[in-house]
């Protein structure tokens, strides 16, 4: 992002300086200035913004919770000291600090909190969603491969919030079934 922003900044500064450098020359200066203003001042930003919008809509649409047969549903409850996770497929089973999910399957996480606003964020799996007392927000996550993914509570919620982390463990199909049967922690 920094590289892209620096490139756009350099382009804008170049466009800003060029009219001052060419001010004393004669010729069809007006038509060239119009090309710069229309081409790079209007068309280029519109094309870039349209591409970013299209990309954002495609990615955002993919992350929306949808009703399908293979969706796994889990609950995430934030507290000042830890996250507690519950599993619809394993009633009565709960883990603290580690969310277990199957890899390559969509997972709807019902996020809530018992005390103050927290933020549930697993950067490699999905966007950030706030946990608000009295409300349940649903976030769709999906791990492309088995492994451990780090999550954070990215909302100021009191002293020590910056070390308020959790892990997401994505299991392969056999590992997920073993977790549901209680054979793994």
Q: Which residues of the chain fall short of a pLDDT of 70?
A: 22-38, 63-68, 160-162, 185
Tens-place pLDDT, residues 117-152 = 888 999 998 888 899 999 999 998 989 999 999 998
Cβ contact 75:82 at 8 Å: no
Q: Evaluate whether the domain defined by 72-180 bears CATH number 2.60.40.420.
A: yes
Give the C-alpha distances (Å, rounded to integers) separating 106 from 50, 70, 138, 150.
Answer: 28, 7, 12, 18
Q: Please give, one letter per residue, the 3-state secondary structure of 142-162.
A: CCCCCEEEEEEECCCCCCCHH
Q: For residue 85, what pLDDT is reported?
A: 95
Beta bridge partners of 97: none
Terminal-to-terminal C-alpha distance of the chain: 38
Which pair of tokens denotes residue 99?
A: 């969310």
Beta bridge partners of 92: none
Q: For residue 86, what pLDDT is reported?
A: 95
Q: For residue 185, what pLDDT is reported?
A: 66
Q: For residue 44, what pLDDT is reported?
A: 81
Q: For residue 23, what pLDDT is reported?
A: 62
Give the residue extent of every domain in the chain: 2-63, 72-180
Q: What is the DSSP secondary-structure string of 54-91?
A: HHHHHHHHHHS----TT-EEEEEEE-SS-EEEEETTST
Which pair of tokens denotes residue 129?
A: 């969603």
Q: For residue 24, what pLDDT is reported?
A: 56
Q: For residue 165, what pLDDT is reported?
A: 87
Torsions phi, psi for 112 (to 5 deg): -150, 180
pTM of the model: 0.67
Cβ contact 74:85 at 8 Å: yes
């Amino acid at each position: 992002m920094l590289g892209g922003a620096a490139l756009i900044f350099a382009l804008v500064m170049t466009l800003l300086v060029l009219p001052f450098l060419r001010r004393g020359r004669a010729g069809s200066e007006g038509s060239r200035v119009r090309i710069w203003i229309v081409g790079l001042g209007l068309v280029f930003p519109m094309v870039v913004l349209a591409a970013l919008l299209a990309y954002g809509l495609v990615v955002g649409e993919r992350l929306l919770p949808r009703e399908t047969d293979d969706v796994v549903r889990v609950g995430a409850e934030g507290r000042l000291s830890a996250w507690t996770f519950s599993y619809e497929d394993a009633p009565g089973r709960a883990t603290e600090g580690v969310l277990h999910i199957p890899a390559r399957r969509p997972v709807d996480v019902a996020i809530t909190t018992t005390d103050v606003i927290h933020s549930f964020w697993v950067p490699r799996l999905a966007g950030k969603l706030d946990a608000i007392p009295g409300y349940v927000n649903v976030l769709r996550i999906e791990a492309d491969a088995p492994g451990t993914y780090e999550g954070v509570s990215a909302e100021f919620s009191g002293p020590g919030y910056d070390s308020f982390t959790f892990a997401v463990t994505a299991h392969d199909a056999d590992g997920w079934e073993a977790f549901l049967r209680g054979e793994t922690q």
